[in-house]
Amino acid sequence: MSFSSEKTTSKRGRLSRSGADVDAASRNVQLKRELGGLSYEEQRARLQPNSDSPIQMRSDQAASATSGPAGAGGFGAIGRLFNRMRGPDEQPNETVESVDVNLSEQVTGPIGRLFNRICGVDENQTDPAGLSFGDAELQSYLKEELQMAEGEMFRGTKLKGISKKLIGDLDMDGDGRLSWDEFKAFEGQVLERLAPGPDSSASAGEMEGAASSRYSELAGGDGALGYGELKQGARDQLPEGTKHLSLIAQLAARITLDALDTDERDKPVAERTLSQEEYLDGAREITKRQKSMG
């Protein structure tokens, strides 16, 4: 009897091990199916760490079973979950695409690539899940990549002030970090500077016309728009008596150059120039993304 009982136990043990894989796979299929009918926001809400939904338990289990550092936050866990659902050899299929890719939510365009760079990830990746930056990442970007206020007095204080202001202006949930959802509001502000005049209802053609005349106005006809010209242009656009006028104009000029320049990325920002093509391509890409948000 005892022999038979041991045999049953060990058999059950084997069964439950192989059964676990089957369970995980069928849970993933079911999760995909359930998320497929939801909007992106609903999917995120469904996968929130504090949700009471039974799906949350499944996503926790799936995420904790993957390799990689733990405790990277709820959205990081979601990103790992989607990766796991897709599998290393599996090509993205329509079901998965409809779950995690929503054009207007994608991290794309010049400001999307900028966001990726500040976050320290591949600038051409498009998935917003799990990505955000805080004061440390932003200050490091301002200092190392933009060379903001280089050689100026009180540089540290200036960098700290800019970072605090930028994050404070866009941080909607007050967690001190900017997600893509929050940072993309900055994109509209950039477009207003690149193509001043038309409002958001303007056609893509009208936007392009406005960008084209703004470029000619700033660049002065030599086919190259440099740091000094951009800074002067930003200065002229700001209301008189604006606090920290010079610093804000400098920031606008450096961000514009870093976001739109494509052929001089190896040079310090202040030595790069924008061709008309770079300027218009950037404005066009931003316009397209803005229009996709409706």
264 binds Ca ion (CB under 5 A): yes
| CB of 265 vs Ca ion, minimal distance in Å | 9
Structural contact between residues 247 and 154, judged by C-beta atoms closer than 8 angstroms:
no
* Cα torsion through 212, 213, 214, 218, rounded to 10: 110
Burial class (CB in 10 A: 0-12, 13-18, 19+), 132: buried
Q: How far is the CB of 27 from Ca ion (least distance, A)?
A: 31
- Rounded Cα distance between 251 and 254, Å, is 5
* Min CB(270)–Ca ion separation in Å: 13
**289: exposed, middle or buried (Cβ count in 10 Å: 0-12, 13-18, 19+):** buried
- Name the one residue in this structure whose structure tokens are 């924008």: 274
Binder of Ca ion out of 23, 175, 217, 277 (CB under 5 A):
175
Region near Ca ion per CB under 5 A, out of 78-86, 103-111, 167-175, 184-192: 167-175
User: Which residue, 187 or 261, is less far from Ca ion as judged by CB?
Assistant: 261
- Secondary structure element (H or E) that encloses residue 258, with its range: helix 245-260
263 interacts with Ca ion by CB under 5 A: yes
Q: Does the protein bind Ca ion through residue 6 (CB under 5 A)?
A: no
Q: Which amino acid is at 67?
A: S
Q: Give min distance, CB of 41 to Ca ion, in A.
A: 15
- Judged by CB under 5 A, the chain residues 243 through 262 that form the site for Ca ion are 261
By the rule CB under 5 A, 171 interacts with Ca ion:
yes
Total length of the chain: 294
Please say which residue, 78 or 85, places its beta carbon nearer to Ca ion.
78
User: What torsion do the CA atoms of 195, 216, 239, 148 make, to the nearest 10 degrees?
Assistant: 90
Residue 137 interacts with Ca ion (CB under 5 A): yes or no: no
Asked if residue 271 binds Ca ion (CB under 5 A), the reply is no
Stretch binding Ca ion (CB under 5 A), from 121-129, 139-147, 173-181, 281-289: 173-181
Whichever of 101 and 224 has its CB closer to Ca ion, that residue is 224
List contacts with Ca ion (CB under 5 A). Answer: 171, 173, 175, 177, 261, 263-264
